[in-house]
Amino acid sequence: MRVALVSKALVVGEYQRKLEALAQEPDLDLTCIVPPCWQEPGGRRIELERAHLRGYRLVVEPIRFNGSFHLFYFPSLAARLRALAPDLVHVDEEPYNLATFLATRQALAVGARPLFFTWQNLARRYPPPWRWTERYVLQHSAFALAGNAEAEQVLRAKGYRGPSACVPQFGVDERHFQPAPCEPEGPFTLGFVGRLVEEKGILVLLEALAGLAGPWRALLIGSGPLRELALQRIASLGLGERVRLETSVPSTQMADRLRGLHALALPSLTRPHWKEQFGRALVEAMACGLPVVGSQCGEIPNVVGEAGLLVPEGDVPALREALDRLRRDPALRQELGRRGRERVLQRYTHTRIAAETARVYRQVCRLEVEAG
């Protein structure tokens, strides 16, 4: 079974561990097509990290309109697919994106079965031409992978009638993201990892920290349009000596940063254009045995389960109380950390997600045989 996986996300080295796990499937011949870099909105440029390359081919193709989720595409993909002659083309993009539309057409042109991935958990109606590209992809794809349960429901509401499965895009490497031998010394240290945007709840978190009693520290990792406002809020709330803001951390170093924390918070906020689609930082922290606090936003409750504390969205007092519970109770931290690690091993490792993805590939090929 020859599979071509087209993905801008796989420029990130840590994510390539899933490819190594997929490549271990004995019936799978895998080629991954990635751009040389990806330009994040707000200016951050992510260069291709060649970190985990065993067992599959990594092919670098240029892209046009780098940095535009809707408009970017691979201009030489058609020729590449003709040379590879894959059985399946897995387009790791939303169905309304131009890249997905073109790759779906190009896959069909070489006799391959196309499938796509979606995180979109809001039933948004797009203007032309995105509505048309989405409709084409939904009508012509052999399979849909949804990163969360609500995304699968959105697909059905939009008229998708093909087979689908709920499989997160990426997991974590449990050997790399693993607990420290013991909690770090010093005061209770809380972490936040995410884009510095309103919907990630960074300002809510700072308000909660402002009234948090006892000795504590906080490490915020992220960049985005609210960076300057966050720094101003840190200063105006008198948190400058307790809160440190770090712009970015390479994916290969994130586990070490997490092991220096006592807990992690992700107080995301639902907005008309967005709600939490997964919360990867939560899974990485849980893999490291950290207790987590999340809001009841989007997919967060499903990811955390019984392995963390959940609070209402935007509820500063409730968030502060949850953080204080963790600060004061090492036994609670230990128990929630144990549950989180166990939940990740059961659901969210690269190996587990790769196995589920490989089952999807086999199902698509089986459907093709039956149809033939």
CATH topology for 2-171+349-371 is Rossmann fold (3.40.50)
Q: What is the pLDDT of residues 79-98, one digit of tens each?
A: 999 999 999 999 999 999 99
CA distance 178 to 258: 10
Cα atoms found within 13 Å of the Cα of residue 304, Cβ hemisphere only: 30
**pLDDT number for residue 253:** 87
Residues of the chain with CATH 3.40.50.2000: 2-171+349-371, 188-347
Q: What is the pLDDT of residue 371?
A: 55
- Asked if the 188-347 domain carries CATH number 3.40.50.300, the reply is no
Residue 157: both structure tokens together: 């509401």
Q: In what order do the strands lie in the sheet with 143-146?
A: 57-60, 29-34, 2-6, 88-91, 113-118, 143-146, 164-166
Read off the pTM. 0.87
Is the CB of residue 144 less than 8 Å from the CB of residue 116? yes
Write out pLDDT tens, residues 108-149: 999 999 999 999 999 988 999 999 999 999 999 999 999 998
Distance CA 342, CA 334 (A): 12
